[in-house]
């Protein structure tokens, strides 16, 4: 057996489940056309099963990742429902909520890829976001109620001088409308009930924060790459206060989620067109899938023999033997003949399987096994 180093990213992001009747921003991104009227897809029939006497197709095993370039106006739950229908898949889930008014990368796991969702959710996130100066809102985004106003506007020089204070490990107070629990209750539930929620500051890591553009004095466009638990809305709020004005997020787009970047994203209309061609025999849905192991780029890969693979597949540990046995310990993903087999722990001279994959069914085409 041989061990090959794999590469990837680290970090993460807190997500919110706020009032479903309000299209609030999650801390997941878009700076394109900040005042564009969102394209509402809440009533799109594609997002709901159709009633009637239509025969129901049997669901099938589909395994892999699809990174949807989610449009403004669609909820993450609707996006999962649409992809599950398009692929006629048995199982599907997403790796990090992207709220209706945000656009960008929404990684959707199909089949056995759902076992790797935590590795994506714990990865770094990158956002492009627009801050509108002069107003603070109770949700820290454009959907909230205005709570304070200011006529002051920051200069470009003042913004640039401020950015180092928000880079590295910083203390951040989460927004009132967040998923943080306060005595067993979600902060956003308490805030909606009119209670004053005082949340404690906590450390978060911002790997970089840059000013991308300042089209005019009322707004500025930023890019941030951050770790788990960071709230982009809180960044806008805190920067506004320190700059002697107020600020809130008015556009947000997510451009990176763990190992998935914009090159991996596919717009919904392109995905639907591919599915239509596949239904007519002119293509394959496998072309839209990325391999399950794409989510595991930041942990080592360990190749084993077919005999050892048989034991691991039965849930049995395998002893590490010979000069080629790895000397490291920790989490690995195990392959046999280039095919993903299991997630396992290496230690004390053995491989202990933790999650075994059964990739029988539709998987990514061979061409998707190489990252562009």
* Whether the Cβ atoms of residue 265 and residue 68 lie closer than 8 Å to each other: yes
Residues shown for the chain: 372
Crossing angle (nearest 10°) for helices 76-87 and 268-279: 20
Cα separation, 71 vs 85, in Å, equals 18
- Give the number of C-alpha atoms closer than 13 A to the C-alpha of residue 163, restricted to the C-beta side: 17
Smallest CA-to-CA distance from 366 within 301, 297, 300, 284 is with 284
What is the signed CA dihedral for 150, 155, 158, 163, rounded to 10 degrees?
90
16, 27, 30, 99: which is the annotated catalytic residue? 99
Residue 56: φ, ψ to 5°? -90, 125
* Whether the Cβ atoms of residue 82 and residue 268 lie closer than 8 Å to each other: yes
Q: Judge whether 99 counts as a catalytic residue.
A: yes
Residue 46: φ, ψ to 5°? -65, -20
Active site residues: 99
């Amino acid at each position: 057996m041989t061990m090959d180093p794999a590469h990837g990213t680290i970090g993460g992001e807190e997500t919110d489940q706020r009032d479903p009747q309000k299209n609030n921003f999650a801390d997941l991104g878009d700076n394109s056309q900040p005042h564009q009227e969102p394209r509402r897809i809440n009533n799109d029939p594609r997002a709901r099963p159709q009633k009637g006497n239509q025969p129901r197709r049997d669901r099938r095993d589909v395994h892999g990742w699809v990174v949807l370039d989610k449009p403004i106006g669609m909820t993450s739950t609707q996006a999962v429902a649409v992809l599950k229908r398009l692929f006629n898949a048995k199982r599907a889930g997403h790796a990090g909520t992207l709220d209706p008014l945000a656009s960008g990368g929404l990684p959707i796991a199909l089949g056995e890829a759902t076992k790797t969702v935590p590795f994506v959710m714990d990865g770094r996130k990158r956002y492009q976001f627009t801050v509108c100066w002069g107003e603070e809102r109770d949700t820290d985004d454009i959907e909230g109620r205005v709570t304070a106003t200011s006529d002051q506007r920051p200069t470009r020089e003042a913004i640039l001088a401020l950015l180092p204070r928000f880079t590295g490990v910083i203390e951040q107070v989460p927004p009132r409308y967040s998923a943080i629990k306060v005595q067993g209750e979600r902060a956003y539930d308490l805030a909606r009930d009119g209670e004053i929620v005082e949340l404690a500051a906590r450390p978060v890591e911002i790997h970089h924060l840059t000013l991308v553009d300042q089209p005019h004095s009322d707004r500025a466009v930023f890019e941030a790459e951050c770790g788990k638990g960071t709230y982009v809305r809180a960044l806008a709020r805190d920067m506004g206060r320190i700059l002697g004005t107020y600020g809130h997020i008015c556009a947000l787009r997510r451009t990176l989620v763990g190992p998935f970047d914009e090159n991996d994203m596919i717009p919904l209309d392109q995905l639907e067109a591919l599915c239509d061609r596949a239904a007519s025999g002119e293509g394959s849905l496998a072309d839209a899938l990325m391999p399950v192991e794409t989510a595991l780029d930041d942990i080592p890969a360990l190749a084993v023999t077919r005999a050892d693979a048989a034991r691991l597949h039965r849930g049995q540990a395998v002893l590490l033997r010979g000069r080629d046995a790895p000397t490291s310990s920790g989490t690995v993903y195990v392959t046999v003949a280039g095919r993903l087999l299991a997630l396992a722990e290496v230690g004390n001279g053995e491989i202990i399987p933790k999650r075994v994959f059964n990739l029988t069914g539709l998987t990514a085409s061979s061409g998707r096994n190489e990252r562009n």
